[in-house]
């Protein structure tokens, strides 16, 4: 395999313009294109290239396979809950609405749980829980998703990558924890296949259940669980949680849950913020092993990268850049 090595450097404004143009070329409205652009650009700025602008090419590919069958619909609602049918709209758009609803209900009633089904490719879970945390709430987001991951000992996919994410308000930047129970994110796998880049050993199998480092063969097979049986156990729990969102046991279906909790249900928000910040300071102050510069907290690296790249701009593969330009020309 030969990887593409040419890179295109874009300022934030250039990246936003390119993304908006490509999404309009795909037929998204200005509002929809803006929602997706905000999401993928934030991913790029946080240093997750595979979840950044290249994701638009994945969106284009999915749109050739699935089309909306009406507007997003509210199926059931109480004062603290809502269940939505995404009507096959893109998940970055539908999850934007679900997150807004969770924040609104939690601010009004102290707690909210919002479920969403029949949607696809919602992007980084961290994006949504960070928004909840910045609203002064504790956020939890789970996904029971399309079967892409093989359980230990299996020769085919049976569960989704099934991430879980948490967002906690602090006295400073939110604490965000976002992790998948797959050895490799499927979006990362797709980008590696697009660019001809090999996979690390031990993270995927081919269609015959044999280990592979070829991303194209892995796309026809499955990725493996992170952490063996422990990762599989957590992935299984997320799959079951997806049932709360109205996702039946359909290997091609997915269920998304958003939970928002107002700390004031138990302790005052300011006290909670200060307590979490004190905990983080204590942990970062832990004695370090030789050669270790700092104890790093989840989300620290991505937030530092975001601050840096917001000033310096981002880089994307030139092959991806050219494909996005082609889409933008169709707008």
Annotated domain spans of the chain: 7-267+307-329, 271-298
Is the whole model's pTM more than 0.85, yes or no? Answer: yes
Total residue count of the chain as it appears in this document: 331
Q: Say what the pLDDT of residue 251 is.
A: 73
> CA neighbours within 13 Å on the CB side: how many for 75?
14
CATH number attached to the domain at 7-267+307-329: 3.30.1370.60
Q: Say what the pLDDT of residue 187 is.
A: 82
User: Could you tell me where the beta strands, DSSP code E, fall in the chain?
Assistant: 7-10, 73-78, 81-90, 111-120, 138-144, 149-150, 164-168, 175-179, 204-205, 222-224, 255-261, 314-317
> CA neighbours within 13 Å on the CB side: how many for 300?
8
Q: In which order are the strands placed within the sheet that holds 149-150?
A: 149-150, 222-224, 204-205
Mean pLDDT (10-residue bins), the chain, 331 residues: 71 98 97 98 96 96 94 98 97 98 98 97 96 98 93 94 96 96 86 90 94 94 92 94 88 91 98 98 97 96 97 96 94 71
Q: Say what the pLDDT of residue 2 is.
A: 42
Q: Say what the pLDDT of residue 146 is.
A: 87
Q: Say what the pLDDT of residue 252 is.
A: 76
Single out the residue of 126, 40, 139, 140 nearest to residue 90, CA to CA. 40
- Measure Cα distances from 263 to 110, 269, 291 in Å: 8, 6, 38
Pair type for strands 73-78 and 164-168: unpaired
Contacts of residue 289, Cβ cutoff 8 Å, sequence gap at least 6: none
What is the number of helices (H) and of strands (E) in the chain?
Answer: 11, 12
Q: Say what the pLDDT of residue 247 is.
A: 87
């Amino acid at each position: 395999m030969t990887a593409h090595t040419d890179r295109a450097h874009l300022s934030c404004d250039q990246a936003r313009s390119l993304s908006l143009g490509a999404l309009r070329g795909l037929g998204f409205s200005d509002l929809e294109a803006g929602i997706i652009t905000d999401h993928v650009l934030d991913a790029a700025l946080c240093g997750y290239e595979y979840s950044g602008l290249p994701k638009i090419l994945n969106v284009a590919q999915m749109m050739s396979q699935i089309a909306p069958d009406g507007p997003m619909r509210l199926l059931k609602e109480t004062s603290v809950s809502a269940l939505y049918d995404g009507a096959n709209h893109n998940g970055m758009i539908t999850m934007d609405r679900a997150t807004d609803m969770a924040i609104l209900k939690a601010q009004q009633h102290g707690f909210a749980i919002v479920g969403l089904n029949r949607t696809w490719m919602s992007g980084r879970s961290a994006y949504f829980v960070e928004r909840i945390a910045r609203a002064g709430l504790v956020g939890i987001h789970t996904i029971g998703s399309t079967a892409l991951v093989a359980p230990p000992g299996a020769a085919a996919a049976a569960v989704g990558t099934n991430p879980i994410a948490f967002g906690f308000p602090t006295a400073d930047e939110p604490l965000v924890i976002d992790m998948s129970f797959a050895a490799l994110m499927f979006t990362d796998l797709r980008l590696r296949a697009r660019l001809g880049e090999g996979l690390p050993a031990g993270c995927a199998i081919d269609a015959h259940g044999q280990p592979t480092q070829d991303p194209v063969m892995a796309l026809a097979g499955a990725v493996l669980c992170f952490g063996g049986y422990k990762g599989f156990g957590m992935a299984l729990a997320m799959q079951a949680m997806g049932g709360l969102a109205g996702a039946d046991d359909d290997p091609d279906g997915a269920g998304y849950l958003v939970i928002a909790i107002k700390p004031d249900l138990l302790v005052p928000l300011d006290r909670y913020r200060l307590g979490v910040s004190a905990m983080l300071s204590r942990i970062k102050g832990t004695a370090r092993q030789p050669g270790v510069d700092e104890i790093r907290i989840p989300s620290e690296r991505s937030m530092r990268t975001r601050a840096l790249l917001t000033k310096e701009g981002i880089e994307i593969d030139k092959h991806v850049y050219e494909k996005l330009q082609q889409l933008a020309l169709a707008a």
